[in-house]
């Protein structure tokens, strides 16, 4: 009897959704499979919220039916014949028509046409990501493993399916390293040779920078990106950023250790994207036109770029924040224009105890202090100009930060006195 890889997974892993897709496929009499990373993770017994489905039929009309059943919204991408459903609870469901892919030239986007399930699995990056599980009733849970994915999972190997894999898609260099380090696997020896050859190939330059960036961001979002960065650095695999790119690993280790402590200790940093902290550390040694080139070629948001540039002005900030006697409100004045990510990064890397203490007082307490009064209170007391109101409120806030405790009445009294003084 064949093994059912989906048995015993009740209560987790979106099994109800997967079963609902299977039932819909049976109703329409089309073959449907779970594919890619989720199959790998089911076998490894790891959580994965992204469900990838391949059908041997028109995925788009199938996805619309599934969306109705699951009460989800379907977004359709005509170019590749795929649809994405944002699931009401969490996670995503991607549905695609089984397809064949070929790359017109190294590093380009693939051309696609409908294909068999085998074509669809063969177009994938590594054997461990090229397995499928059937969702139809008569074969529910059966594994389709044409390229030795299960054997490689057991041997802990990252292996490409064919020799052109990295040439076709050089972003797979980053993926190989990420999976190797995430799972504690090894890149298999022939695959490693192909990876190194691909790095010397012109195809590296054909890849549009946003595609590298998407993969690099995934790497920096791993729970511990350090081993990935170290391995990529050893392989000289950071050339997609800058031809002279080398990492300062001991410095990255320090940032990593301190960042993990900081995000636990201070809720102020909870909104900081971890990948950005590591990205700042990676680009820290760059300056001027080299840094500008990196910031301009990757799709960074304006606020993300600003955080990175704020970090570059650390010398001046360090000098200002090292002054021996600074009131807490002065410290706030220096720090308030900076993003929490820039402050977190600065705190994670600073060698100065005095700066550490000041940044911790800010993140732990002073940045969170708010006034109980507002502009309406001041208007009721006779204030009229918007600018005057703003200035009075920020003066009262400074007083509250320095005194650490002020009641609403004390805030109103302070505002009244300031208004009288003009």
Residues that bind ligand CTP (CB under 6 A): 36-37, 48, 50, 52, 124-125, 129, 169, 171-172, 175, 218
Least distance from ligand CTP to the Cβ atom of residue 71, Å: 24
Q: Of the two residues 115 and 349, which places its CB atom closer to ligand CTP in the complex?
A: 115
Q: Name which of 52 and 152 has its Cβ closer to ligand CTP.
A: 52
348-354 long-range contacts (CB < 8 A, ≥24 apart) are 348/254, 348/255, 348/258, 348/259, 348/262, 348/277, 349/251, 349/254, 349/255, 349/258, 349/281, 349/284, 350/318, 352/318, 352/322, 354/321, 354/322
Task: Indicate the length of the chain as a whole number.
Answer: 422
What are the φ and ψ backbone dihedral angles of 111, each rounded to 5 degrees? -90, 145
Q: How far apart are CA 385 and CA 88, in angstroms?
A: 48
Give the nearest distance from C-beta 15 to ligand CTP in angstroms. Answer: 18
Alpha-carbon span 342 to 284, nearest angstrom: 12
Q: Choose between 37 and 333: whose C-beta lies nearer to ligand CTP.
A: 37
CB-closest chain residue to ligand CTP: 37
Find out whether 22 and 140 touch, Cβ atoms under 8 Å.
yes
- Decide whether 31 or 37 has the Cβ nearer to ligand CTP: 37
Please, which residue, 84 or 392, has the CB nearer to ligand CTP? 84
Asked if 281 and 249 touch (Cβ cutoff 8 Å), the reply is no
Cβ–Cβ contacts within 10 Å for residue 157, how many? Answer: 19
Q: Which is nearer to ligand CTP, 49 or 285 (CB)?
A: 49
Mention every residue, 6+ apart, whose C-beta is less than 8 A from residue 86. 72, 73, 75, 92
CB of 406 to ligand CTP, least distance (A): 49
Q: Are 58 and 103 in contact (CB under 8 A)?
A: no
Nearer to ligand CTP, 121 or 308 (CB): 121
Alpha-carbon Rg of the chain, whole angstroms?
27
The minimum distance between CB 167 and ligand CTP, in angstroms, equals 13
User: Min. distance of Cβ 294 from ligand CTP in angstroms?
Assistant: 22
C-beta of residue 408 within 8 angstroms of C-beta of residue 373:
yes
Return the number of the residue (126 or 268) whose C-beta is nearest ligand CTP.
126
Residues 6+ apart with CB under 8 A from 358: 321, 326, 331
Residue 52 backbone dihedrals phi, psi, to 5 degrees? -105, 125
- The residue among 48 and 318 lying less far from ligand CTP, judged by its C-beta, is 48
Q: Closest separation between CB of residue 151 and ligand CTP, Å?
A: 17
* CB of 172 or CB of 328, closer to ligand CTP: 172
**Cβ 251 to ligand CTP, closest distance in Å?**
26
Q: How far is the CB of 172 from ligand CTP (least distance, A)?
A: 5
Shortest separation between residue 216's beta carbon and ligand CTP, angstroms: 13
Of 212 and 362, which CB lies nearer to ligand CTP in the complex structure?
212
Query: Taking the complex as a whole, how short is the minimal distance between the CB of residue 129 and ligand CTP, in angstroms?
Result: 3
* Residue 106 CB, nearest approach to ligand CTP (Å): 13
């Amino acid at each position: 009897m064949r093994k059912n890889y989906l048995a015993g997974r009740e209560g987790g892993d979106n099994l109800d959704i997967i079963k609902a897709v299977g039932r819909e496929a049976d109703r329409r009499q089309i073959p449907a499979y779970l594919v890619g990373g989720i199959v790998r993770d089911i076998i490894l017994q790891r959580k994965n919220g992204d469900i990838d489905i391949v059908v041997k039929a028109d995925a788009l009309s199938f996805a619309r039916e599934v969306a109705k059943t699951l009460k989800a919204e379907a977004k359709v991408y005509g170019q590749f014949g795929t649809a994405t459903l944002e699931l009401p609870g969490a996670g995503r469901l991607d549905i695609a028509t089984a397809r064949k892919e070929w790359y017109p030239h190294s590093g380009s986007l693939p051309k696609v046409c409908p294909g068999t399930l085998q074509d669809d699995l063969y177009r994938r990056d590594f054997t461990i990501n090229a397995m499928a599980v059937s969702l139809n009733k008569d074969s529910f849970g059966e594994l389709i493993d044409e390229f030795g994915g299960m054997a490689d999972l057991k041997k802990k190997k990252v292996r490409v399916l064919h020799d052109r894999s990295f040439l076709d898609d050089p972003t797979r260099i980053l993926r190989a390293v990420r999976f190797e380090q995430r799972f504690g696997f090894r890149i298999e020896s022939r695959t490693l040779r192909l990876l190194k050859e691909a790095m010397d190939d012109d195809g590296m330059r054909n890849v549009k920078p946003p595609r590298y960036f998407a993969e690099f961001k995934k790497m920096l979002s791993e729970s511990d990106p350090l081993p990935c960065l170290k391995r990529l650095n050893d392989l000289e695999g950071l050339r997609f950023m800058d031809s002279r790119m080398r990492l300062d690993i001991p410095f990255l280790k320090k940032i990593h250790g301190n960042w993990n402590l900081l995000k636990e200790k201070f809720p102020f940093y909870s909104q900081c994207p971890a990948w950005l902290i590591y990205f700042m550390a990676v680009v820290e040694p760059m300056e001027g036109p080299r840094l500008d080139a990196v910031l301009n070629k990757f799709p960074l948001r304006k606020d993300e770029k600003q955080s990175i540039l704020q970090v570059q002005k650390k010398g001046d900030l360090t000098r200002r924040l090292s002054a021996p006697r600074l009131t807490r409100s002065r410290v706030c004045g220096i720090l308030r224009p900076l993003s929490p990510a820039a402050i977190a990064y600065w705190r994670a890397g600073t060698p100065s105890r005095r700066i550490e203490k000041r940044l911790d007082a800010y993140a732990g307490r002073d940045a969170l202090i708010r006034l109980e009064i507002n502009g309406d209170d001041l208007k009721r007391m006779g204030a009229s100009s918007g600018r005057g109101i703003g200035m009075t409120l920020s003066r009262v806030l400074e007083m509250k930060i320095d005194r650490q405790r002020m009641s609403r009445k004390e805030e109103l009294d302070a505002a009244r006195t300031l208004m009288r003084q003009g």
